[in-house]
Structure 1
Amino acid sequence: MRPIRLPEPPSGTMGMPEIFEGGIYSVIRRAVVIGNGYSGAENQSVGLVRALGISERHSIYRVTRPRGGINEWLHWLPVSLHKKLVYVIKRICGDSRFPLIARGKKLVPLLNEIGSGAGLSSILEADAKQIATMARETFEKEGPLLVVASGRDTISIASSIKRLAPENVFVVQVQHPRSRLNRFDLVISPQHDYYPLTPQAQERIPRFIQRWITPYEPPTKNVVLTVGALHQADSAALRNAAATWHDEMAPLPKPLVVVNIGGPTRHCRYGADLAKQLTNSLQSVLATCGSMRISFSRRTPQKMSSIILKELGDHSKVCIWDGEEPNPHMGHLAWADAFVLTADSVSMLSEACSTGKPVYVIGADRCTWKFSDFHKSLRERGVTRPFTGKEDISESWSYPPLNDTAEAANKVRQALSERGWTLRP
């Protein structure tokens, strides 16, 4: 198998002393990440901060929604309205006891405390006024503040920070915010988010609802387009993972194929039938594999995982991760010779396609709307191939790896330069 040389993450700006670059008032040394509690979104922001070279000086704030019971039905509301509604219901029902609703045979609380999820104790609740005040009050000592946010619930917070401290912050919104892009200094969006503007999509949208489908207009000057999602799996991270997992994965017979199985989504629908198809195809390629490691995600339905465990769990070449820590995901990215992935996760595909190693995809034919467009773009670039079960895994192939995170970081540097600012790790 021919090794693939991964692109190095961009280094921070190194050059003349700050006095010749405009002084401390034009040098960004720190960042704030606004998250929504979902790793797929937060990893994109942290990955961008890593690529910019300031990961050692960033803080994470989180926009959290009430969870549990009826709250699961209210996620379509803007997060601020959702919280206000929670407050009103708590005032009516009392703080100590909340009505219960039945979910099947299980009773669950109507309301849970905001931010009560595991792991939130060390992460501050995002407050636009507090962050903007901090940016203004520390500007003379610390310089400008970079704000990176990702996910629908972070849009109002990030835009408010920009409005409250426009001279002290540079705000980057990752993932398309649907409308009013001028609220941000920079928007980083995958190309497939603009699928609704393509002729194919326009033909599928009834004319009377076209004006309600976002985005409404082509990318503006402050939009950076990517192929896939940003992530943290850069060359430095993979080298560290290779060292960490060396003792466990280096002895495995080659080629090592890593199989990552996600779960159905609104635009990528599948179930037990795909699990059976995947199982049959994996059994067919085992003859050309040295070893195979399989992982499920938290979204994988039990019916799917049960089928795969039953058919492949006892095979001598197969190891199925049991879900216990430590998570081998980064080790798999570093040591795999090829990947077989389900089509549902843009993040999972983006990470694998950044390695330059063969990536086979199953289930892309079941994806619709912009996700179908995403898979089409990967195939046209030669980055992925459909997984049929007829592959010879020992035969390698390569392609120019996706390098979205580093390329987006360069665009951020360019935008900062146009403003007269620079980055200093």
Structure 2
Amino acid sequence: MRPIRLPEPPTSPRGMPEIFEGGVFGVIRRAVIIGNGFPGAENQCVGLARALGLSDNHLFYRVTRPRGGINEWLHWLPVSLHKKLDYIIRQMSVYSHFWFASREKKSISLSSTTFSSVGLSSVWEADVKQIVSMAHKTFEKDGPLLVIASGRDTISVSSSIRQLASDYVFVVQVCCWCFLSAFQLCDFLIQHPRTRLDRFDMVITPRHDYYPLTPEAQEQIPQFLRPWITPREPPGRNVVLTVGALHQIDSATLRSAAKTWHDEFASLSRPLLVVNIGGPTSHCRYGADLARQLIVYLQNILLSCGTIRISFSRRTPEKVSKIILKEFGDHPKVYIWDGEEPNPHLGHLAWADAFVITADSISMLSEACSTGKPVYVIGSERCKWKFADFHNTLKERGLVRPFTGSEDLTESWSYPPLNDTADAACKIHQALAERGWTLRA
């Protein structure tokens, strides 16, 4: 009698059967991303999912706020309270409209977008009950669910998901930079990365947002706020501290972008200098004066530069872009992106020989520093508080140098690329392994 050969159990990339790796129910194959509608925050979630190999297997949800009119002044409120208040205001607007109409009086009416939630109907709104139900119902078939959220509006959603489905999910909360103002005090206290970190399986936050502020930075904030801003304890095991922002740039992305943009960039005179101009923030202020300073510096290095390509961001003030356009709009060595698609940003990262970036652009600096190419910063002396700490860290690690206009771009320099996203992904793999779970792309 011939022996019956049973099929081998499914094996993992390490060669170990799944049943010995936490069981068939311990393999994560999909992710849920919860964003807040801001590209900078959502880009971090997408970048982390990509680093984990789940870029093609995730669902995207968004926590949205009412927009338009008075809503622009209510963003400091918790999102749930903001929505309830918006509903009341809209109902009052409807009733007042009928009241005035019944009296046949002509009056100045508010636009339809003033008290309405613009665009909410077209957004897949994050629903805690729906996501928890999905995690429960699909667990036996698809395994645990990885939840990645970013932005303070997502905190209540992601923490509730973990509370209600802790055996079926692994929740990662990415904390973005907090910009404190009089209208954002509640925002800051809610989002600050020291606030109840045990609500999440993992918290990823910039190092300068967690560790105590420098004496200079502490002098810039009120005394009564310092205990909330400066953690009194070191981070726990579930906290991952990064240098910069998470993003989607890695070696595979750069290789693909190099091929995609080959025809446009390959024939350009070298060295190629890419200049990224952001916009002023409350902790990194500048205006036309910095634009004029940048013009002088760029004119000084034109002889050692083959091509200069300049890009503005959505935050760039019009007066800054106009000054740059007036000076370099017709220069044969300079190309200024007009904002029309396709966006050459990935091509710039792949083909540039060096970068000049304004100090406010944390995300662009993090992406540029992941290439290992020379990165020059202009305006960092204007930054204060945690922005100043961030720039000091970049300088200490040799990732950036100040742009002075005396650089010879034919002389290059390099450094170990900044790999915050890959490092964070590695920490997630380790945390999952400790739980008896594994992640499979």
**What TM-score do the two structures reach when normalised by structure 1?**
0.91
Residue 382 in 1 paired to residue 398 in 2? yes
- Kindly provide the amino acid, as one letter, of the partner of residue 161 in structure 1: I
User: 1:354: Cα distance to partner?
Assistant: 0.3
Classify 1:53/1:133 alpha carbon distance in 2 versus 1 (closer, same or farther; 3 Å). Answer: same
Q: What is the distance in 2 between the residues matched to 1:91 and 1:129?
A: 27
- Please tell me whether residue 115 in structure 1 is matched to residue 106 in structure 2: no
Show the counterpart of 1:263: 279
Secondary structure of the 1:368 match is coil
Q: 1:265 to 1:100 in 2, by over 3 A?
A: farther
Instruction: Name the amino acid aligned to 2:150.
Output: S
Alignment of 1:191-340 (within 5 A): 191-202=207-218, 204-213=220-229, 215=231, 217-340=233-356
Moved more, 51-60 or 296-305: 51-60
Distance between the aligned counterparts of 1:205 and 1:74, measured in 2? 23
Paired residues of 2:175 and 2:204 also in contact (CA < 8 A): yes
How far does the alpha carbon of each residue in 1:159-215 deviate from its partner, in whole angstroms, 9 at most, with x for none? 111111111000000116421110000001111102544454445545433334354
1:68/1:108 contact within 8 Å kept: no
SS at match of 2:56: helix
Deviates more, 1:236-245 or 1:208-217: 208-217
Residue in 1 aligned with 2:435?
419
Higher relative contact order (CA 8 A, sep 6+): 1
Which whole-Å CA distance do the structure 1 matches of 2:428 and 2:389 have between them?
26
For 1:77 and 1:132, locate their aligned partners in 2 and report how far apart those are by CA, in whole Å: 25
1:25 CA drift (Å): 1.0
- Deviation at 1:69? 1.1
Residue matched to 1:171: 171
Q: Is the 8 A contact 1:31 1:49 kept in 2?
A: yes
Q: Hey, what's the Cα distance between the residues in 2 that align with 1:337 and 1:124?
A: 40
Q: Is the 8 A contact 1:282 1:389 kept in 2?
A: yes
Q: Secondary structure at the match of 1:56?
A: coil
Structure 1 unaligned blocks of 5 or more: 1-11
Instruction: Give me the whole-angstrom Cα distance separating, in 1, the residues matched to 2:119 and 2:403.
Output: 41
Partner residue in 2 for 1:142: 142
Could you tell me which amino acid in structure 1 is paired with residue 119 of structure 2?
Answer: G
Asked if the contact 2:258–2:347 (Cα under 8 Å) also holds between the matched residues in 1, the reply is: yes
Match of 1:184 among 181, 200, 204: 200
Deviation of residue 383 (structure 1)?
0.5
| One-letter identity of the residue aligned with 1:395 | E
Distance 1:101 1:318, change over 3 A: farther
Taking only the aligned residue pairs, the percentage that are identical comes to 70
* Residues 197 and 215 in structure 1, CA contact (< 8 A), matched pair in contact too: no
Would you say the 8 A contact 1:65–1:115 is kept in 2?
Answer: no
Q: Counterpart of 1:383 in 2: which secondary structure?
A: coil
Tell me, yes or no, if the aligned pair for 2:211 and 2:230 is still in contact at 8 Å.
no
8 Å CA contact 1:61–1:125 kept in 2: the answer is: yes
Secondary structure of the 1:293 match is strand
Distance in 2 between the 1:402 and 1:373 partners?
A: 17
